[in-house]
Amino acid sequence: MKEEKLIISLHPHIQSAESVSRMMFITTAALIPAVISGVYFFGVNAVKVIVIAILSAVVFEAGLQKIMKREVTIMDGSAVLMGLLFALLLPPTAPWWMVILGVFAGMLLGKHVYGGLGSNPFNPVIIGWASLKLSFPSYFDISGSILGVTKVEGISALVEDYVYFSEQYGIESLESIGAKINLFFKLLLSWKPIFPGEPLIGCIGQISALAIIIGGLFLLWRRYITWHIPVSFLASIILFSILFKGGEFLYPYVLVQLLSSGTLLAAFFIATDPVTSPMTGRSMVILGILLGLIVMIGRIWGSWIDPIWFCVLVINAFTPLIDLIFKPKPFGRVKVA
Amino acid sequence: MKTGTFKGGVECSVFSVNEVDTPIEELPLPSEVTIPLKQHKGKECKAAVKKGEEVKVGQVIGESASPEEASIHATISGKIIGVTKRFPDIRGRYVSAVTIESDGKDEWVAPPEAKADYLKKSPEELSSLIEKAGVVDFGIDAVPVSAKLGLIKDKSVNTIIVSGIDIEPFLSVRKRLILERVQDIAEGIEVLKKVSNVSSVYFAIEDKDAEIKEKASSAISPVAELVVLKAKFPQAIDRPLIKAVLGKEVPSPNGIPEDIGVSVFGAEAVLAILDAVRVERPVIDKVITVTGAVSSPKNLKVRIGTPIKDVIEHCGGTNGEVAKVIIGGPLMGLAQYSTEIPVSKETSGVFVQSESDLATISRQKCINCGWCIDVCPMNLLPHVIGSFCEVDGFEKAEAYGLFYCIECGCCAYVCPAKIPLLHWIKYGKIQLEKEEK
């Protein structure tokens, strides 16, 4: 038989055009509305934090990979995404050294000590955030990782203060359906300063719920995330805030739980991180419900102002266990008697 | 009209398929054919001819010893110029093969002619005609129809599914056969019903083509229930197909469809059955789709034993540098190391791949995106099994259902990290099988 230079390999001989870097860049693109809203409300400070975070993430990724003698993969977009997500969790007033330190902690302790992208048990963004929160609590408390938390006693007190809503959003009473819908849309668009005349405070990426929802829906449409975690997590937040709270101010309370703080960012971008979330839809639903539960417990009875990112870390630790318990049953398995 | 689908799989709209919709064309007689004596799952047939002998079309050259083997016939008339024991088949294993040099006359032992009243024959007579004709049913393996009929009897099968869905979305053999010979398919189903003594027959097609639906519903409906399935890959494999049509799961990993009283036949097998009893014509040719990097992709009727280089030549040759020549389609086909490999009963297509379209692998680690789980028709965790096999943790891989894998390759197709999941899975299977021995 004549010799021909043909390649032999196992099927499949073709591949889909998807790749990890495409996944990362599309997710980064989905964050653009949140970036725009952050820049719109916080101006040049937000731009500064975002640029520093992204640049340092790329530099640290390349540097750490060089030191650890691994292939440098800054072009896969995961460093850019991590830097951007990290910046969105910070207040615009964060000083430059803190941003760099946080990115470094996230990169080293969250990602590269475990072996890089794909091996990390915890979300590196949250590792970075948590190390800053624990090391420099005062920088966070100035602006609060949630609206106005320094002025009122924790997140739940905010909504019981009718002055806030009536003065800032022009809603006198929440009796009528129209007023409820009105409040919903106003909160969806953005938050307002706690007191008139004071500067707006909050985190860059969390100021406009609508911007995050647009990005999340885009990801859902492109099928880079599935509905399981966002839906189960948000439903669980609603359910447990009703169960735990109830009472007169329930409606604005539930709205604040859903639309403020990192709830939406967690639902669409942080908890859905493929590496640290469970594998199957069923386990993802379980994770979403559990996350909602501990977030609500933490918010109502915890001592942190907003515990959501610590809750994400806790739930990341449970991911392997959830995966193990809810292993799918193979097709056509026969029970051996 | 029934509809249905199965869990997992890749939707056909995802693939960039240039559908080959040319009518089936007959390939001119080749000057030489090499016919492997094993073109089915099971044992090899015994050579019935010697070097130097003159043979005619339809003459038995490989005798089957039992219904588990499908006898092999000469596909052109001429002189036998070689009988070898070491000829590589499409899987790269050595089999015996007979080489015939054409005399260009195309003389038949018994020219096919319509036999009147063939339907009045007894089921036994009909099935012996089918056995004599060497009919195989090709899904993933080529199984002699006579063996399948035996199983139907032994396992008291009560349902037959005839699949009008191509093995892969890139091939259009069954689609063309439905468009061109739908009446014959209906008649073939009648014969199949008679020989198998099974009355409940489903005919499965996909929902992507309105013309097919129309043709099939008018012609097939009187003899079989039409089932329109969502266009997905791998619908041609028995397990997903049965799940989609009947909602039943074949016991896995070791069960066969007949265990739950179902038997699956491809549309071309039904036509071959009809030819075997109506005109008493043995299987001497195969309809294949030639596509990929060839100048003019075509659907061809090819004499068995024709080297695939002749087939590619007839399609205007290849475009650019050829990297792979695949028998079957690009999703589940077998890459060949030579274009002198002949077309056999196991060939449903030839796919030529140029260098730029090659699938690659990367050093990217699994990012746990779960896409392989979503597409796995067997509801496995391919990335978990794959990574266990990668580090030689075969027992663990087995505990996660390694042997349930039907090797459709969907996981490796969708993987964004380009991990060769199926390679690892196959490696694990081979290692475990070795250990057992």
* CB contact at 8 A, B51 and B80: yes
Tokens of residue A240, six digits: 């447990």
Does the structure show a pLDDT above 80 at B348?
yes
CA distance A234 to A264: 8
B359-417 pLDDT per residue, tens: 888 888 899 999 999 999 999 999 999 999 999 999 999 999 999 999 999 999 999 99
CA distance A182 to A178: 6
> Given the DSSP bridges, would you call strands B159-163 and B262-266 parallel, antiparallel or unpaired?
parallel
Residue B78 has a pLDDT of 94
The reported pTM is 0.90
CA separation, residue A319 to residues A49, A273, B190 (Å): 31, 12, 55
List CB contacts (< 8 A) between B349 and chain A.
none
Which of B251, B332, B366 has its CB closest to that of A11? B332
List CB contacts (< 8 A) between A335 and chain B.
none
Q: Are residues B142 and B228 in the same domain?
A: yes
Q: Are residues B7 and B52 in the same domain?
A: no
Q: Are residues B379 and B330 in the same domain?
A: no
Residue A196 has a pLDDT of 60
- pLDDT > 90: what percent of chain A? 52
CATH code, domain with B313? 3.10.20.600
Nearest CA in chain A to B328: A11
Give the gap in angstroms from C-alpha B116 to the nearest C-alpha of chain A: 45
CB contact A222 to B (< 8 Å): no
Task: Identify whether B363 is part of a domain.
Answer: no
Domain count for chain B: 4
CA separation, residue B398 to residues A267, B254, B335, B410 (Å): 35, 13, 27, 19
Q: Are residues B101 and B232 in the same domain?
A: no
Give the gap in angstroms from C-alpha B337 to the nearest C-alpha of chain A: 5
B279-288 pLDDT per residue, tens: 999 999 999 9
Q: Are A19 and B418 a contacting pair at CB < 8 A?
A: yes
Average pLDDT over all residues of chain B: 91
- Structural domain harbouring B348: 284-358
* CB contact at 8 A, A268 and A215: yes
Task: Identify whether B232 is part of a domain.
Answer: yes
Residue B382 has a pLDDT of 95
Q: Are residues B307 and B422 in the same domain?
A: no
Which of A2, A7, A276 has its CB closest to that of B323? A7
Residue type, position B349, single letter: G
CA distance B416 to A20: 5
Residue B404 has a pLDDT of 94
Which of A13, A16, A76 has its CB closest to that of B335? A13
Q: Are A14 and B364 a contacting pair at CB < 8 A?
A: no
> In which order are the strands placed within the sheet that holds B2-4?
B2-4, B225-229, B200-206, B159-163, B262-266
CB contact A311 to B (< 8 Å): no
Q: Are B379 and A117 a contacting pair at CB < 8 A?
A: no
Task: Identify whether B402 is part of a domain.
Answer: yes
Domain boundary among B242, B263, B278: B278
- Mutate which of B368, B391, B407, B423 to disrupt the A interface (most A C-beta within 10 Å)? B368
CA distance B268 to B185: 8
Task: Identify whether B365 is part of a domain.
Answer: no
Q: Are A4 and B338 a contacting pair at CB < 8 A?
A: yes
List CB contacts (< 8 A) between B337 and chain A.
4, 6, 8
B183-201 pLDDT per residue, tens: 999 999 999 999 999 999 9
Domain boundary among B336, B358, B380: B358
List CB contacts (< 8 A) between A274 and chain B.
367-370
CA distance A277 to A280: 9
List CB contacts (< 8 A) between B360 and chain A.
15
Does the structure show a pLDDT above 90 at B135?
yes
List CB contacts (< 8 A) between B250 and chain A.
332
Q: Are residues B252 and B121 in the same domain?
A: yes
List CB contacts (< 8 A) between B413 and chain A.
12, 14-16
List CB contacts (< 8 A) between A329 and chain B.
379
Q: Are A12 and B332 a contacting pair at CB < 8 A?
A: yes
Task: Identify whether B290 is part of a domain.
Answer: yes
Which of B338, B358, B381 has its CB closest to that of A1? B338
Give the gap in angstroms from C-alpha A120 to the nearest C-alpha of chain B: 9
CA distance B113 to A301: 88
Q: Are residues B267 and B162 in the same domain?
A: yes
Task: Identify whether B364 is part of a domain.
Answer: no
A34-61 pLDDT per residue, tens: 999 999 988 898 999 999 999 999 999 9
Q: Are A20 and B364 a contacting pair at CB < 8 A?
A: yes
Domain boundary among B309, B324, B358: B358
Q: Are residues B80 and B228 in the same domain?
A: no
* CB contact at 8 A, A158 and A195: no
* Ranges of chain A with pLDDT below 50: 142-156, 159
Task: Identify whether B254 is part of a domain.
Answer: yes
Number of neighbours of residue A150 by Cβ within 10 angstroms: 14
CATH code, domain with B95? 2.40.50
